Amino acid sequence: MNQPTKGQPVSQQPVVLCLSGLDPSGGAGLSADIESIAAQGGHCAGIATALTVQNSRGVSDFQPISRDFIARQLAELLDDMQFSAIKTGMLADANLAKLVCNLAQDHAESPLVIDPVIKAGKRSLALPDLIDALRELIGHATVCTPNLPEAAVLAECDEDEIDLMVRWFANTGCRYLLLTGGQCDNQRVINRLYDLQSNPLQDPKLIQTLSWPRLTGEFHGTGCTLAATLATRLALGESMQTASRKAQTFTWKSLQSPCTPGTGQQFPNRLGK
């Protein structure tokens, strides 16, 4: 049996490299990435950046994986596979964010989707040195997908100062911003997609606004689902606006008939069963 040539794709399935935390409850992190990517027809090559202690009711602790160990995993994967997109979730500490910066610079041809995971509920998922390193990493992103509280932390402004947030992301060098409104108290969830670099001499341009009815209950893993789906749609060659629309539609539908494996938050039903 012939072996595939090193570095060549073995199928038409786009491979999405994901660096995310491991959620043992299966609601978020790598579990969400794997299910979301598979649902779009892609393949997830997943690296766990941190181990967490959590269930459907919340997170109580986490432990980052060492940079050296993750670097070895990356080297093995890069020697074997071609990635059509890269997606990051929980990075936990600055060392991992800096490692991803190097990865992004070496693979600038691959779309980079950054879900800037900082908290789960009220529990921080970031060591103190992460935020500054995350700000640098965002400058390499094709698209960043924060919710309003995450964007406010990164931009050092209030959650209602959306113009300031958007300008801050534009100044980092990030190409697109998908700002999600799932954490607000409005009756509808409003998500906004900005083209941050359409013309450096002009303000960032709002190119898409999608609104969804707010569903009852609390959900765990929606941000991971959205970002991983978006990365896969970009890996399939879709435009940012098309990929954004399809990713949001898939995420919202996954919440209409959620999974309830525990006694806490509901999980997106990413596999449609």
Q: What is the 3-state secondary structure (H, E, C) of 50-105?
A: EEEEEECCEEEEEEECCHHHHHHHHHHHHCCCCCCEEEECCCCCHHHHHHHHHHHH
Give mean pLDDT, residues 170-177: 96
Q: How many Å apart are CA 214 and CA 256, to the nearest integer?
A: 10
Q: How far is CA 15 from CA 74, 108, 114, 234, in A?
A: 14, 16, 16, 11
Q: How many Å apart are CA 71 and CA 73, to the nearest integer?
A: 5
What is the reported pLDDT for 4?
36
What is the reported pLDDT for 203?
85
> Would you list the domain boundaries of the chain?
15-256
The pLDDT tens digits of the residues spanning 59-88 come to: 999 999 999 999 999 999 999 999 999 999
Which long-range contacts (C-beta less than 8 Å, at least 24 apart) are formed by 154-158?
154/116, 154/118
Q: Locate 34 and state its tokens.
A: 């794997």
What is the reported pLDDT for 8?
41
Q: Locate 271 and state its tokens.
A: 């596999």
Q: How many Å apart are CA 14 and CA 166, to the nearest integer?
A: 31
Q: 15-256 falls under which CATH superfamily?
A: Ribokinase (3.40.1190.20)
What is the percentage of the chain residues whose pLDDT exceeds 70?
A: 93
The sign one gets for the Cα dihedral 80, 237, 229, 151 is positive
Q: What rounded mean pLDDT belongs to the chain?
A: 92
